[in-house]
Structure 1
């Protein structure tokens, strides 16, 4: 059974998502060469707790941190630690907030310092694939339409989508039904209904789509060790047609524009 959220529930998720967006914005200010991933995690955890939220990932199935931080060939679920960001890195930062009984979930990938044009393109394509998927998330469409939109866009650009890891419903639980793959066929899967709240999260590899799990039991990396990027929004299916994006990258991108004159990936 896929949970249908009331308008009141969606409003609470938006409140959670605002805390999350602002936490991401604070982390964005510290994403630069010479900063450890553990330091980024501390910024997020303190901000979320200071705003009466709880980091959704902290303690989730034993996960030891508030952020998943995945660098270069790491796709998702990287554990923050002593690694120090360096010039040329690609870093994906995923975070969730639990507030007033509801979760929100959002991710962003950054170019650290001066990066190659190849990495910038990977980031740009992955970001756009997120919006391609969201555009297909219309009441009456099906889950497969979202995956098809992401996959067809990504593969046309010469990249591959990870298949073993998927988006998901979001609400009282961090992961709810339905699963939202980043690949699929149009017209397949559950029909989208107003009130569904979904995390759409393309994970896009520069090389092949195969992945492996590291010995820490969490970190997922590309099998060929080529870079991977990850973007995510929590959205609500509406009666009006277009999905409503509940999370925001605005605080991140406002800072990047202020600092660099662009979001780096444009």
Structure 2
């Protein structure tokens, strides 16, 4: 997209990746240039520009992402043990069902699974660079998980076609890896879950792609800190609502909002179990008390703008309606006799 400012002293060329790339040329000698720019073109890119009477200033450096072309899913070797839902045995549980108190055997296997998930996430971090596609990242993650003797939990979970979630910029969560090419200035959340030794280990984090602007870096930093504040609220006798009480005020104080639509969850031998773990104040919050042996994820999503999201036609990809950035970070947490352990640390 080429946009020319009517200021005689300014001519700005911007490259934007949109769902459909269109070329607009504005004649710099046209007296109606500013009006045309503001009334016709600016609303389409309002999240990237700031208008005043004298100029148009480019203030953000990331691309707006829409779902792209998804390649054929990769296969998992026969010798890899697969979770039940791969063969159509998905157990449904109410979020108000009893919260599992896991045995020492399950806790030991969860430690192994979560340790592997943590390693895979660090492996994924090393892949992030300008020029790589999210599909290539997924392919490498898939191969590494399988090489380690585990199954990528997201693959075929309720039909999800890939081995991890890659959510870039304005994609809030559950992004399907596709032909999107990462560019310098982007941020990407990579969410990995592995099924290993009969248990699921779940973790995610948001990474900068090359050099990002200060607002994006601040968002990533506050998201990671908000997650840790939620983790520190966990201990025997604490209510699950205390996690939100620790996270949301911190996020708001730092200028961000919590996405209310997506929550953390219990985890263990099943991918998703009770309880739902909310990261913001809500009457739906689970007020039950934590007990030693409970295992669940905390995974707040912080958003720059409004918390309104829309789900793409693929049924998975959640997009911010205002095209502003969001970031997510996630740990799997075990409640112990004296406090908590971060299993995916």
CA contact (8 A) 1:145 1:184 kept: no
Give the structure with the larger helix fraction: 1
1:229 equivalent in structure 2: 327
2:276 equivalent in structure 1: 179
1:75 equivalent in structure 2: 172
Q: What is the CA-CA distance between 1:184 and the residue it aligns to?
A: 2.4
- Name the CA distance, whole Å, in 1 between partners of 2:149 and 2:247: 35
Q: What is the CA-CA distance between 1:232 and the residue it aligns to?
A: 0.1
1:198 equivalent in structure 2: 296
- Which deviations, in whole Å up to 9, do the C-alpha atoms of 1:47-105 show, x marking residues without a partner? 11111110010010000001100000101100001011000001000010001111010
- Higher Rg: 2
Q: What is the CA-CA distance between 1:7 and the residue it aligns to?
A: 2.3
Q: What is the CA-CA distance between 1:216 and the residue it aligns to?
A: 1.3
- Name the CA distance, whole Å, in 1 between partners of 2:293 and 2:329: 22
CA contact (8 A) 2:275 2:286 kept: no
Aligned residue for 2:252, secondary structure, equals: helix
- Count of equivalent residues: 247
2:120 equivalent in structure 1: 23
Say whether residues 1:211 and 2:301 are aligned partners.
no
Show structure 1 runs of 5+ residues with no match: 249-266
1:13 equivalent in structure 2: 110
2:217 equivalent in structure 1: 120
Aligned residue for 1:114, secondary structure, equals: coil
- Name the CA distance, whole Å, in 1 between partners of 2:286 and 2:329: 24
- Name the CA distance, whole Å, in 2 between partners of 1:155 and 1:138: 24
Larger mean CA deviation between 133-142 and 20-29 belongs to 20-29
- Name the CA distance, whole Å, in 2 between partners of 1:221 and 1:141: 33
The 1:159/1:171 distance shift into structure 2, 3 A limit, reads same
2:342 equivalent in structure 1: 245
RMSD of Structure 2 on Structure 1 (CA): 1.4
Q: What is the CA-CA distance between 1:43 and the residue it aligns to?
A: 1.1
